[in-house]
A and B are shown apart, each in its own frame.
Chain A
Amino acid sequence: MSQTNTASNGTPSSQDSITEVKPLIEVRNLKKHFPIRRGVLQRQVGAVQAVDGVSFNIIKGETLGLVGESGCGKSTTGRTILQLLSPTDGDVYLNGHSLTEMGRSELRKQRRRMQMIFQDPYSSLNPRMTVGNIIGEPLLIHNIGNAASRRERVQELLKLVGLNPYFINRYPHEFSGGQRQRIGVARALATNPSFIVADEPISALDVSIQAQVVNLLDDLKSELELTYLFIAHDLSMVRYISDRVAVMYLGRIVELSERDEVYDHPLHPYTQALLSAIPIPDPFKEEKRQRIILEGDVPSPANPPTGCRFHPRCGYATDVCRVEDPEFRNLGTENKPHMAACHHAEKFV
């Protein structure tokens, strides 16, 4: 893969200027390719370009929603930011320190500042450990406090996420999905992190429980001054919780702006198609809703289309789209940037 989103390196400065705060997380041209090996000699014949040149900032205290369809690289982005997967290229800065250049032990120390909430509450808790040990584990790893103070902290965390502190000696299988997700949240909060990647934290839950967990996350955010990267495919949920929204397609971010900008004035045809799929809870309006049906499937990330990656499915595609990779550029104002990667975005402004 030789092409990159060349413009993306320049853009974050404009975002910095509006907030005049140093971002908590800076992602620069992040790439994660998984090699494909074939043959007797296991030679590399290609790569799945799961994340291919992604750049964005997350400012302290905000929630950045990351949406996109299955397989577009959302989760890989989250995990690569946390260095659970080592990036192929690019950089991630936490408070200005590069996580990619950090040594292993230094990185382990920094991990207490950034945590993750997982999608599947059934596989994210070790079935052989008690709730107390699960939640207290990050404290144990970072050698925080003694056994008694850790136990106290665990009980405090259980209360914080709305569980009974008596549950400390229980095992995960004794809990429901929603309760398990709360345990996962409590574990992520144990070391008082400033940044949390929530990787589809609600998509495995019952709809009735989803609202509870999202509200919990929202309340914790204001109470503990957290910063989230909220990964989801549920567009309404993302609109509810996010301050800014990034839309991903095939390993790239195609649109990034303030929540209402993205939802009310989408500038990328892919975003428009995604948004047109949200059902409206009003039968009369729903009847008139215009759906943009995308043709074909998502192309293989091992062999992405030339030019604009969306052009084979795009209704507005022209010759330039087939050849030239669109720049990820600001179509909003200096104070209210609206980034989009589309040659024809001016049409939609």
Chain B
Amino acid sequence: MTASTKSVSPATIPLNEQDLQEQRWLERLVGPEWARLIKGVLTNPLSVTGLVIILGFILIAAFAPIIVPPPNATWDTTLIPRDGFGPEPKAPGSEWVRNAPGEIPFWYTPLTGREEWVHLWGTASGQYDIFYGVIWGSRTALMIGGIVVLSSAIIGIFVGSLAGYYGGWVDEILMRVVEVFIAFPFLVGALILASILVPKLGRSIWPASIALIVFGWTGYARLLRGDILATKERDYVQAAQAAGANDFHLILRHILPNAIFPTLVVLSLDMGAIVLSFAALSFLGIGVQEGYTDWGQIVSFARSYIFSLDRYWFIIVYPGLALLLYGLGWNLVGDALRDILDPKLRGKR
């Protein structure tokens, strides 16, 4: 080897490998882009607030049996226990006579100063306990968000990758299919499909979830397709192709990892938004049965009292607050992610 090939001095960069690993362990672990995202989210006060809120809901969901235990061991925890069948909602603090939680948890007496269970946040008509519904409803919210968003994202990523990478008639057909779905207003389409599915699947979380997936994946497909179209022209993709990589390798190793971030932003925003849509369907009485631990379903109890909400405010305020906070948490994180990925968008909507 001649001298000229050795002429570049790497002096500007620290040489010791150990130093480097200590210096940027996060980057070594997950790569520079992820490291930047994680650092960005963890240093932005707004997104930290969002993460704290989301973590709070995860903790509430995880410890729901300690916060409000079900009335007995065989109780279906997705059903709100009823204290009788009276139509008149009871105010917060009234006595819990029938189907009260089995035992008094350790936090209850110190915090409320009571020896026996009361309806902490009141009851809805039909004597459904709102406190139980809101606490256990966080499980439903996380599960719905997870199922619907992940399923739609997986379908959307698959379709978007195929359409963007192969182009041509594959792209034409897939995008026309997407347009058929987009032609329906999202909520109206989901509403109609869910009400068709209810008689077939019975009242559970599934009709509304499936409807939201069917009308939700198109957004991911379109977004990702565009990013893949841009990414696949990059030189490093051509380089891998020149090296002999096959389509599978190109998509999974080079194109998708570099095109996925905008999709991740939408995914995090949707985690909140989907729960709101699900709540909207529940509020309209489509999907879960009456008494299911779902925030939207609890709010729907207030429908009959729309003119007397000054008296029965608790039916709408507590589950409404839960919905608001949950949506806010994911939105804060999603907005922060978007700002990190595209600083030009900061502050815009």
Contacts and interface: CB of A to CB of B under 8 A. Distances in A.
Q: Please report whether the interface of chain B is mostly helix, strand, loop or mixed according to DSSP.
A: helix
B10 A164 contact: yes
In the complex, the 6 A-B pairs of residues with the closest C-beta atoms, listed nearest first: A111-B244, A124-B235, A138-B243, A215-B4, A126-B236, A108-B244
B246 A162 contact: no
A141 B249 contact: yes
B2 to A, nearest CB: 5
A125 B254 CA distance: 10
A182 interface: yes
Nearest to A162: B5
Given A123-B234, A128-B31, 19 more contacts: A82-B242, A84-B238, A116-B238, A124-B238, A126-B253, A127-B258, A128-B258, A134-B236, A137-B240, A162-B6, A162-B8, A166-B20, A169-B20, A170-B20, A178-B8, A187-B239, A191-B243, A212-B4, A212-B7
Interface string A212-250: 100110011001000000000000000000000000000
B192 to A, nearest CB: 32
B13 interface: yes
Interface string A130-166: 0000100110011000000000000000001111101
A191 B242 CA distance: 12
A116 B244 contact: no
Contacts of B33: 127-128
A167 B242 contact: no
A311 interface: no
Contacts of A160: 1, 5
Contacts of A120: 235
B244 A169 contact: no
Contacts of B253: 126, 129, 137
Given A120-B235, A167-B10, A187 B243 contact: yes
B131 to A, nearest CB: 47
Given A123-B234, A128-B31, A111 B242 contact: yes
A115 B245 CA distance: 12
B13 to A, nearest CB: 7
Contacts of A137: 240, 243, 245, 253
A171 interface: yes
Nearest to A107: B244
Interface string A174-215: 100011001010010011000000000000000000001001
A229 to B, nearest CB: 13
Contacts of A79: 238
A141 B5 contact: no
Interface in B1-46: 1-2, 4-8, 10, 13, 15, 17, 20-21, 27-28, 31-33
Contacts of B243: 111-112, 115, 137-138, 141-142, 187, 190-191
A118 interface: yes
Contacts of A123: 234-236
